[in-house]
């Protein structure tokens, strides 16, 4: 149990997919201009990465190592298509807001990387925990970025006005340039946090 917790745990900060591993940065910048959109994207990726890790771990002994990457890609693409169809049917507005980035979940480096590095070598339960942990880390990062950009950039949170009416929102943070600069500082902040954790452990 403790071992499973530590597998889950490492995706949150120490190996956070966005801030530390710097994989799958495209969605972290492109679909975080509001909280609700980043929440949807985060949950979708969490679902895809957990499901894919489970599938890969189940079939890991049946697949010839030479063709493993195409097999992983087919599995990821199938799961993403399922997510796409579900969102299109039940949440059409969010489906439109995510646009092309939803289809591009297929090629997120983090999903393929977890399949290759972890799920192809570990059992089903451990792979499931790893996927869930990485997915949660991704979701948290997306929510942090989304919240900062929405609160500061447009003065709202989940569409509700939180800043006083006289607040003059800097448009900069909603624009692409603001996203790049914000993530630059967040990456630096996370680096300091990781160093602090490692120092206190040692």
Partner 1 sequence: MEYLTLFISAVIVNNFVLTRFLGLCIFFGVSKNVNASVGMGMAVTAVMTLSSIMAWLVYTYVLVPFKLTFLTTVVFVLLIASFVQLLEMIIKKHAPALYNMWGVYLLLIATNCVVLSVPLLNVESSFSLAKSIVHAIGSGAGFGVALVLMASLREKLRLADVPKPLEGLGVAFILAGMLALSFLGFSGMISL
In whole angstroms, give the CA distance from residue 49 to residue 65: 20
Identify the residue among 7, 23, 45, 98 touching partner 1 (CB under 8 A).
23
**Least distance CB 32 / partner 1 (angstroms):** 10
The residue with tokens 């447009």 is: 154
For 117-129, give one letter per residue: b (16+ CB within 10 A) or e. ebbbebeeebbbb
The residue with tokens 């895809």 is: 48
Identify the residue among 159, 170, 189, 198 touching partner 1 (CB under 8 A).
189
Q: Binding to partner 1 by residue 117, rule CB under 8 A?
A: no
In whole angstroms, give the CA distance from residue 188 to residue 1: 33
Identify the residue among 112, 139, 140, 144 touching partner 1 (CB under 8 A).
112
Identify the residue among 121, 176, 197, 198 touching partner 1 (CB under 8 A).
176
- Binding flags for partner 1, 86-105, as an x/- string (CB under 8 A): --------------x--xx-
Strands (E), the chain: 156-157, 160-161
- Binding flags for partner 1, 47-86, as an x/- string (CB under 8 A): ----------------------xx--xx--xx-xx--xx-
């Amino acid at each position: 149990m403790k071992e499973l917790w530590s597998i889950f745990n490492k995706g949150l900060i120490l190996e956070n997919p966005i801030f530390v591993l710097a994989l799958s940065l495209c969605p972290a910048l492109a679909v975080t201009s509001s909280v609700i959109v980043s929440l949807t994207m985060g949950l979708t990726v969490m679902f895809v990465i957990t499901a894919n890790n489970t599938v890969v771990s189940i079939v890991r002994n049946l697949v010839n190592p030479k063709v493993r990457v195409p097999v992983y890609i087919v599995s990821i693409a199938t799961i993403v298509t399922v997510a796409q169809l579900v969102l299109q049917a039940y949440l059409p507005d969010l489906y439109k807001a995510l646009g092309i980035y939803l289809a591009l979940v297929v090629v997120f480096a983090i999903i393929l990387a977890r399949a290759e590095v972890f799920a192809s070598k570990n059992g089903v339960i451990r792979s499931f925990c790893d996927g869930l942990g990485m997915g949660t880390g991704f979701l948290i990062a997306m929510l942090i970025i989304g919240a900062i950009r929405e609160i500061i950039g447009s003065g709202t949170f989940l569409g509700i006005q939180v800043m006083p009416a006289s607040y003059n929102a800097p448009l900069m943070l909603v624009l692409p340039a603001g996203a790049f600069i914000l993530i630059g500082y967040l990456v630096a902040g996370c680096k300091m946090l990781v160093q602090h954790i490692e120092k206190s452990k040692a």
